[in-house]
Structure 1
């Protein structure tokens, strides 16, 4: 056994032939290096374990390897370098602040970025300075402060400036995959913004990886997708791979399959960055599993039971933190972590806009594509006005919002609700902060209310009169007496009778055959009404050709009266309860969030769907702003990728109403996510 000593450090190493593993002891307790793979062991790693494992990998390629003098010299040098780096990190923390960071040269060249977003915020610049100096790093900034940009630029610095990595693997919730893809394209130079989204069946994932593994810089996969191709990922990821884990707090139970998979993957590389805006949403106990992955157990060890014994006491099923436990855990965490809150970021604008891109599930996408075809057929060969086109847009927006209203007036919900799921994930990490959620549709407001009630989150609902989705033609047909001549005509009118002359002829034929005693003259009002009705029924016939999923269903959920504000008195009561902190969330339609509502307690606003009217958007945004005391507010738009959501948001951000821009000619392009 050899002993290597450095200042205040002593590590004894031995090769145990019985276990075929390298071992070292500390304070007379032996630990096996293979314990890195035994996550229920009691291994407590010294701070230099990464140096030890690094050299073991380098030297153990030879089966006859023994601890030679060369190994000992190299290992001692690793320890010295580690100490020097620790000193540099300490100086970095002491010298660089938000106040002086902007006088420091940028680490990267940003000339490829547009002028309006080129300069990083001070906290992003400071965070990047720290992130590139720690192979394992935690970004704990408050939500919506731009952690994603820092993570992408860290990849760029590690690859281009330090030549430490070749590629990055991004592991995140499924609702964030498109957001990462868009952020990569936004912040990376065009020739280095290649990425692969690993989705679909196991066979499809492996095929895509096989084709693209040497052609892309970023791989994006969701937490659930890792398990089906774990072994292949272990072969693909190596010491020159950077791993980014977004919302790492979702990895809580160290015995769960998700955690075990990521622990094994994390052992393949030292370069791991964890992102989370609420690292202790349920308490500091949640940090144990992420520590196993990101820090290899160096902070809190490898034993969950030991971690609990050290920092918590048991009170039945509950775990109560010991005195100063949070402070001790926090001190360890922030050795290689940084956190900024919104109040600290002095150079951020009062309004920060953040689009959250999510995919439509396959069944929802199928109905959406059919509805695009349906909408174009409805407008084909007709002179149409903006209001008529908006009716078609409404149908598409309904689908991206998770429901569909049939011509019979029935509200059908899709089984999979991607926007509601994205909202759920936002609420899970919101930490009880006040929030406003706006929607375009009453059915969607009801789904939001249902979710909040399920999650036991207090809320108030502000709506005006229910948004009417029925077309004028539908209203007209509802008022017709089926026994009248018009009603009887409606029953036999052919869909192809879509001109005034054709309708007149059909009417005359009906009168001649069925009602010879009736006057064959048709008034202009009757003709106009008949044409509207005929157009409606042509539409109904086409609509019936759309194949809807069999598992679509209706809901009987009703928003409680105590949470509903539909008149001036009840609205003001809900506003006052929100401002006083008695309810956490305000939900409603953006059209009802107009002038007179003061909801300035909120610093976060989420748009599930948008009104097509610019005034509704601007006024609903301003509800969270205090005219006297300005404060920073973030506005998150949950939008379905490659759908009408994108085009509508772009138009509104361009300070225009949708009706001012939309035409029959650009409808198809907008439906696919363009302007």
Structure 2
């Protein structure tokens, strides 16, 4: 900006908490960045407009407001430099944020994309991200062109294709085409990272809770109907209900919470007691998880924003509760502790890896980071761990887990007793 004058005005697009907290704080830490004026384009529309009217060098906005920003400026787009922090959040070409960025892309002189997980669901995810960098020069101007050139349809139901399988040699060709604009760096190759220890704590259900889980699992599967095809959508619905039950509670059709067991809470209490007062970052999956954890542990605080981030990093929060979708990208939490607990597991390897990286990074306290997974025995938790262990792909494991349960409880439309 001030050395080579390649750009005059820069927009940073990031997850909400990263736009709110990380970019301003990190820029203040580095001598060569302290002269840059950083403004956060957040809050109400009036607040965002006031921020845009402020004289600054860098304007940080959350990705959800990109469609609004593009509409606000129209053809008078002022940002000749753009940084897409967490580029993988633009991987869907049908999303509003992608369409908005695509519209103004010809007006951007210099663009950079940052991500630790560029292809969480396979190479098919790369097209939209690379398009925003080069406007289709390397992988094609349309997703259809990209798919036809490099992929064959995988599983399908009529005209609906559930996944795309790379053709022979496609992976190497794709990497070759994008190699001149992509730089891949692993933290472990350049930074001294602490030892990482992954622990699986088995959660055992008592007879009553196991019976309740089995009955509710059976009910969830049989709701599909004997002739219903198990595709990615129906599998996700069933899986979500089973994961809730494994955690100890479930929502009914009216949104009311029903408690099934407290076995995970009991195991979480054992883990927290074992760390002997050291801070613990706990990832939860559902709102009822959050509510039950906070009821059991009054000293816990939910991650809301900068206040909790600062307090955690100062060592003032013994138990910080976060959802991986809200804290999985960009936040620096390594100064506050070195122990992570997954109370509720996620099928998303991208969210899992990004969430762990909030603590497993340079600057963490201590010489070891411990990541504990609470896995309820005999439940779908065990299938999710196979994905997180890298022993299965998310889509395959999700479908197979639900199909196995369908076969268990259905036979030609009748229940197996």
Specify the alignment match of 1:438 in structure 2.
339
Residues 14, 86 of structure 2: 8 Å contact kept: yes
Larger relative contact order (CA 8 Å, sep ≥ 6): 2
In the aligned structure 1, how far is the partner of 2:75 from the partner of 2:322?
32
- Pick aligned residue for 1:320 from 162, 165, 170: 165
Residues 1:225 and 2:225 are matched in the alignment: no
Specify the alignment match of 1:606 in structure 2.
359
In the aligned structure 2, how far is the partner of 1:333 from the partner of 1:237?
27
- TM-aligned CA distance change 1:173 to 1:623, over 3 Å: closer
- TM-aligned CA distance change 1:414 to 1:260, over 3 Å: farther
Residues 405, 412 of structure 1: 8 Å contact kept: no
Residues 1:180 and 2:23 are matched in the alignment: yes
Deviation, structure 1 residue 163? 1.9
Residues 1:272 and 2:105 are matched in the alignment: no
Specify the alignment match of 1:202 in structure 2.
45
Structure 1, unmatched stretches of 5+, are 1-158, 353-393, 430-435, 440-444, 458-583, 588-602, 608-613, 625-675
In the aligned structure 2, how far is the partner of 1:165 from the partner of 1:253?
28
Residues 151, 167 of structure 2: 8 Å contact kept: yes
Deviation, structure 1 residue 404? 10
Deviation, structure 1 residue 193? 2.2
- TM-aligned CA distance change 1:350 to 1:206, over 3 Å: closer
In the aligned structure 2, how far is the partner of 1:289 from the partner of 1:336?
15
* Greater Cα radius of gyration, structure 1 or 2: 1
Residues 1:298 and 2:137 are matched in the alignment: yes
Residues 403, 414 of structure 1: 8 Å contact kept: no
Structure 2, unmatched stretches of 5+, are 196-276, 285-289, 306-319, 331-336, 372-417
1:207 aligned counterpart, secondary structure:
helix
Note the 1:345-356 alignment, pairs <5 A. Answer: 345=190, 348-351=191-194
Specify the alignment match of 1:329 in structure 2.
174
In the aligned structure 2, how far is the partner of 1:222 from the partner of 1:623?
31
- TM-aligned CA distance change 1:623 to 1:217, over 3 Å: same
Deviation, structure 1 residue 606? 2.5
Residues 170, 244 of structure 1: 8 Å contact kept: yes
In the aligned structure 1, how far is the partner of 2:26 from the partner of 2:63?
19
Deviation, structure 1 residue 199? 0.7
Deviation, structure 1 residue 449? 1.1
Number of residue-to-residue matches in the alignment = 252
Residues 404, 412 of structure 1: 8 Å contact kept: no
In the aligned structure 1, how far is the partner of 2:64 from the partner of 2:90?
11
Residues 1:162 and 2:54 are matched in the alignment: no
1:244 aligned counterpart, secondary structure:
strand
In the aligned structure 1, how far is the partner of 2:181 from the partner of 2:26?
24
Specify the alignment match of 1:242 in structure 2.
81
Deviation, structure 1 residue 335? 1.5
Deviation, structure 1 residue 253? 1.8
1:169 aligned counterpart, secondary structure:
strand
Residues 1:449 and 2:323 are matched in the alignment: no
- TM-aligned CA distance change 1:622 to 1:327, over 3 Å: closer
1:2-40: CA deviation from partner (whole Å, max 9, x where unpaired): xxxxxxxxxxxxxxxxxxxxxxxxxxxxxxxxxxxxxxx
Residues 173, 223 of structure 1: 8 Å contact kept: yes
- TM-aligned CA distance change 1:266 to 1:188, over 3 Å: farther
- TM-aligned CA distance change 1:604 to 1:311, over 3 Å: same
2:84 aligned counterpart, secondary structure:
strand
Specify the alignment match of 1:610 in structure 2.
none
Instruction: Tell me the TM-score normalized by structure 1.
Output: 0.32
Residues 10, 81 of structure 2: 8 Å contact kept: yes
